Chains A and B, each alone.
Chain A
């Protein structure tokens, strides 16, 4: 009886553990430490953005622009590095580039929020437009070829190890902790839920609904920039074609984690599970020699099944 209740409350966790156990037995090389780090490293970049996306989706909005945003932020960092290195040295140049990328992406997020507030512009449309704009801007910066301005030491951020653990994992954990705290222990987090659950009720309760939504976009912009910098570090260049199509992976992770696209419902913890889920299944299928094309099919079906399962469980909880 208690087990049924536990399953009802944590369906994705249980499925994740079951899948994990199965892969440990069936997939050669899955259980090695190296591979575990591989999985973690692969999910960190998208995961960082997924935590921001969770805030946006719970607040009742959506951001489709992050794929281009990641590439754009990497290119901005690389461009600053190339232009400033002769004057400031490489490390300062990278730092300036990284900060610039984060500031610009924050402003892009705020822009999306402001259009929503003042012109009632659906964020689906704004960010769909920005997806193209940012991709174009990234190409303008790079001139169509990757900017390879980084010193090889920069590779540490994306590919290095600290105390035996891949460095990006620390950032992933820090961002998770930060957003978890925001969502659960600040009035901002509580406002995000309220705004997404019922915009007018939140407004009448004196909540600054537009500041809340706009800030969610701004913060996600910064996370997107961080992911962009990490990717640039991994491939040691700023490339306009990096991270293409990520928006769908990120939104998938959020949805698998149980967040409702209608807003008001969801959790950061759920998104963490969703992110790990996608990472493990892709890694596992690769190790099991499942063809890449089948992997797409399976991942797509997964999203649909996860939402169906959540709906079914919610319904049965009500009766």
Chain B
């Protein structure tokens, strides 16, 4: 079965925000169509409408010339549109066959009682895997398979629905390169059998290999659709970002190289996370780490901070080697870390703003273990004032604050420890534009006061705006260094994807 997908003036708005604006295009059948765009470009919205998760505000879609109105994922399903999501949805304890036919195992009736027809389930699964060219026993437990094999099972499951259109959302983000090859072989087989596919990915080099066409979206607008073979990666990245107006950096002198490094990382390695990482951080410097999802940026920060154990390598703070780093020892040495998922691990949501602002400085404020609220109050009030945290009272629960203000509480909690080195992991995630600017302002102000920081963000524009120096990380390794003053977004993006 196969499908031509046509969209006409397809739009989706959320309140005042236009997620996708009058998208008109025809996706030809039996081809692999890449969808590209940075975060918020509208590509996920498009896929969500095709899979029935959200409904178009205006405009229409059609499959094989028939108008397609999907009120729910089930409707899309019945029109043979199947989605493979980024996260795996398999049950690890069950077999391959049970997973593929989850909730719809073949039954047969004996003496009026329905029972599962295991023979037929295994035979059907075996046939399906054979047709896809996969050599996996249908009785294998999912948890014994590699992540790559699991991903192919996920696609086999999708294939068991006999899709006309297969939507793939970053299917390779968790895969090693060998597994990616296996997946691509599979996708090519499916293409030969006539399946139309849409493929979302950030990995340009992979798309060049697998996709036939590429459709680029930016800020909800359809920029272009071109044949993959006739376009260079340079052109595609250019279309993704357009001419971006850069934020104006405050007049501050970059501190790169001034004085002895305050933090030295030497050959730091943690298996399956990062490999042989060495770099220096200088006093007053804002050092960025850029990389794609899964490059190992967060893992590296957590490793240096001692939140996760490392396998080998050295961490030297102020000329002193850190033995067996743990958050307790590294905070004692003047390190601080604002985690990327502040809601889950950055704050105690039920507790007061006061307590959240004085959590990391507990040791500092409690000589001999004794503490009073009044001893902590100056620090709490100082952060509320200096970081412009909007609060009614510091005894209110921190959960009553907006995302941006919560993030400032996380930062304030650390600034109260008078840190020498701060790690900011995605500090702008989930905060509004205004709060974002304020947070950058805080980072700059602290840098002028001598604080050294490492800044990790998925938003590459932010790295260019905020940092004095940017390290490029790819697949767990440091690829090199860029000077943000001499780098534009396209170059940075290309460096993250393809290395230097």
Interface residues of A (CB under 8 A from B): 185-188, 190-191, 193-194, 197-198, 200-208, 264-265
Cβ contacts under 8 Å, B351 to chain A:
193-194, 197, 264
Cβ contacts under 8 Å, B372 to chain A:
185
Given contacts A201-B359, A206-B360, contact A187 B366 (CB under 8 A): yes
Given contacts A186-B371, A193-B355, contact A206 B350 (CB under 8 A): no
Given contacts A198-B347, A205-B413, A206-B327, contact A188 B360 (CB under 8 A): no
Task: Assess whether B346 is in contact with A187, with CB atoms less than 8 Å apart.
Answer: no
Cβ contacts under 8 Å, A198 to chain B:
344-345, 347-349
* In the assembled complex, B328 has its CB within 8 A of some CB on chain A: yes
Partner of B348, one of A186, A188, A197: A197
Complex Cα distance, B298 from A228, in Å, reads 51
Cβ contacts under 8 Å, A207 to chain B:
328, 359, 362
A235 CB, nearest partner CB in chain B, Å: 38
Q: A190-B366, A204-B337, A206-B327 are in contact. List 9 more A-B contacts (CB 8 A).
A: A185-B370, A187-B365, A190-B371, A197-B350, A198-B348, A202-B348, A207-B362, A264-B348, A265-B350
Cβ contacts under 8 Å, A186 to chain B:
366, 369-371
Task: Assess whether B360 is in contact with A205, with CB atoms less than 8 Å apart.
Answer: yes
Which residue of A191, A193, A201, A207 has the most chain B CB atoms within 10 A of its CB atom? A201
Partner of A187, one of B305, B327, B371: B371
Complex Cα distance, B413 from A207, in Å, reads 13
A-B contact pairs, 14 of them (CB 8 A): A186-B370, A186-B371, A187-B366, A187-B371, A194-B351, A197-B349, A197-B351, A198-B344, A198-B345, A201-B345, A204-B305, A204-B327, A207-B359, A264-B351
Binary contact track B324-338/A, C-beta < 8 Å → 1, others 0:
000110111000010
- The A contact surface, by secondary structure, is helix
Closest 9 CB pairs of A and B: A206-B331, A197-B348, A187-B366, A205-B360, A200-B345, A198-B348, A205-B359, A187-B362, A206-B328
Which residue of B330, B347, B348, B413 has the most chain A CB atoms within 10 A of its CB atom? B348
Chain B residue nearest in CB terms to A187: B366
Given contacts A205-B331, A205-B360, A207-B362, contact A188 B345 (CB under 8 A): no
A315 CB, nearest partner CB in chain B, Å: 14
Complex Cα distance, B352 from A197, in Å, reads 11
A265 CB, nearest partner CB in chain B, Å: 6
Cβ contacts under 8 Å, B305 to chain A:
204
Cβ contacts under 8 Å, A188 to chain B:
369
Complex Cα distance, B366 from A202, in Å, reads 16
Task: Assess whether A191 is in contact with B350, with CB atoms less than 8 Å apart.
Answer: no
* In the assembled complex, B69 has its CB within 8 A of some CB on chain A: no
Complex Cα distance, B331 from A137, in Å, reads 44
* In the assembled complex, B307 has its CB within 8 A of some CB on chain A: yes
Chain B residue nearest in CB terms to A195: B348
Chain A residue nearest in CB terms to B400: A318
* In the assembled complex, B220 has its CB within 8 A of some CB on chain A: no
Chain A residue nearest in CB terms to B413: A205
Cβ contacts under 8 Å, A194 to chain B:
348, 351, 355, 359, 362
Cβ contacts under 8 Å, B366 to chain A:
186-187, 190
* In the assembled complex, B42 has its CB within 8 A of some CB on chain A: no
Chain B residue nearest in CB terms to A264: B350
Complex Cα distance, B328 from A202, in Å, reads 10
Chain A residue nearest in CB terms to B305: A204
A29 CB, nearest partner CB in chain B, Å: 44
Cβ contacts under 8 Å, A200 to chain B:
344-345
Cβ contacts under 8 Å, A204 to chain B:
305, 307, 327, 337, 339, 345-346
* In the assembled complex, B131 has its CB within 8 A of some CB on chain A: no
Cβ contacts under 8 Å, B331 to chain A:
205-206
* In the assembled complex, B107 has its CB within 8 A of some CB on chain A: no
Cβ contacts under 8 Å, A187 to chain B:
362-363, 365-366, 369-371
Chain B residue nearest in CB terms to A204: B327
Task: Assess whether B362 is in contact with A191, with CB atoms less than 8 Å apart.
Answer: yes
Cβ contacts under 8 Å, A202 to chain B:
348, 359
Complex Cα distance, B207 from A118, in Å, reads 46
Task: Assess whether B359 is in contact with A208, with CB atoms less than 8 Å apart.
Answer: no
Binary contact track B378-412/A, C-beta < 8 Å → 1, others 0:
00000000000000000000000000000000000
B303 CB, nearest partner CB in chain A, Å: 13
Complex Cα distance, B369 from A186, in Å, reads 5
Binary contact track B305-330/A, C-beta < 8 Å → 1, others 0:
10100000000000000000001101
Complex Cα distance, B362 from A193, in Å, reads 12
A120 CB, nearest partner CB in chain B, Å: 15
B454 CB, nearest partner CB in chain A, Å: 15
Task: Assess whether B371 is in contact with A185, with CB atoms less than 8 Å apart.
Answer: yes
Which residue of A198, A204, A265 has the most chain B CB atoms within 10 A of its CB atom? A204
Chain B residue nearest in CB terms to A197: B348
B298 CB, nearest partner CB in chain A, Å: 13
Cβ contacts under 8 Å, A203 to chain B:
307, 327
Q: Quick one: which of B388-444 are within 8 Å of A by CB?
A: 413
Complex Cα distance, B428 from A180, in Å, reads 40
Cβ contacts under 8 Å, B344 to chain A:
198, 200
Task: Assess whether A206 is in contact with B346, with CB atoms less than 8 Å apart.
Answer: no
Chain B residue nearest in CB terms to A208: B328
Which residue of A185, A186, A190, A193 has the most chain B CB atoms within 10 A of its CB atom? A190
Cβ contacts under 8 Å, A265 to chain B:
350
Task: Assess whether B346 is in contact with A201, with CB atoms less than 8 Å apart.
Answer: yes
